[in-house]
Amino acid sequence: MSNDGVDLEKRRFLTLATAGVATVGAGFVAVPFLGSWNPSEKAKAGGAPVEFDLDKVEVGQMVKVKWRGKPVFVVRRDENAISQLANNASELKDPDSAVETQQPSYVDKATRSTRPDIAVIVGICTHLGCVPQHKKETEVSWGGGFFCPCHGSKFDLAGRVFSGSPASTNLVVPPYRYLADNTILIGEDEGEV
């Protein structure tokens, strides 16, 4: 066979150019395909810890934060509210927070927090999963806390359930830790890094 009339340099160039375009094309197809194996941003955020600035919460106020799709109540308690926690112990089902699965071991059993003035509580009623409403001390006769309007469960400002309520256990305290004096990380225990 004769190579008469065939430009070998041109053929090599076209072969290399075609291979280069095919390689780039394969990369454009492979990157989105391989990227689809990663969890979505929504899935990552669903279980990720949430950083919260406590400067957003004034004394006596509650702010709702979303963590793992659940409402988390962050409450700044004043001295009166903190002293009320000790006064209503005789009216509670579990004043000593004996159900260990309801709060991390490092929180104080009476205030159910690491700092008396800040409460961090999952806002889901332990009766049937409703979201209780925050009630200030001045709005109710029982010292304030949380009230579930669906079935009448009452919780104090530490999330402890009152006797006579349909809910059987205290509200859950999620794992959390302080990153700074006024910044908490909800979803990560003390000592974790």
* Domain span including residue 74: 44-186
User: Are 164 and 101 within one domain?
Assistant: yes
User: Are 122 and 153 within one domain?
Assistant: yes
Torsion 37-66-55-170 (CA) sign? negative
Total count of domains within the chain: 2
Give backbone dihedrals phi and psi of 183, rounded to 5 degrees, phi first. -135, 125
Across the chain, the runs of DSSP E, i.e. the strands, are 50-53, 62-67, 70-76, 118-122, 133-135, 145-147, 154-155, 176-180, 183-186
Which pLDDT value is given to residue 45?
56
134 assigned to active site? no
Q: Which of 11, 44, 64, 151 is catalytic?
A: 151
User: Are 70 and 95 within one domain?
Assistant: yes
> Tens-digit pLDDT profile for the chain (193 aa)?
556 677 888 888 888 888 888 888 888 887 777 676 665 656 555 678 889 999 999 998 999 999 888 999 999 999 988 888 888 888 988 888 888 889 999 999 889 999 999 999 999 988 888 888 888 877 787 778 899 888 889 999 999 999 998 988 999 999 999 999 899 999 888 765 5
Which pLDDT value is given to residue 10?
85
User: Are 21 and 97 within one domain?
Assistant: no
User: Are 69 and 139 within one domain?
Assistant: yes
Helix (H, G, I), strand (E, B) or coil at 8: helix
Residue 191 lies in a domain: no
| Residue given tokens 């979201």 in the structure block | 131
Which pLDDT value is given to residue 189?
82
Helix (H, G, I), strand (E, B) or coil at 26: helix
Which pLDDT value is given to residue 185?
92
Of 56, 13, 78, 59, which Cα lies nearest the Cα of 182? 56
User: Are 118 and 146 within one domain?
Assistant: yes
Which pLDDT value is given to residue 127?
86
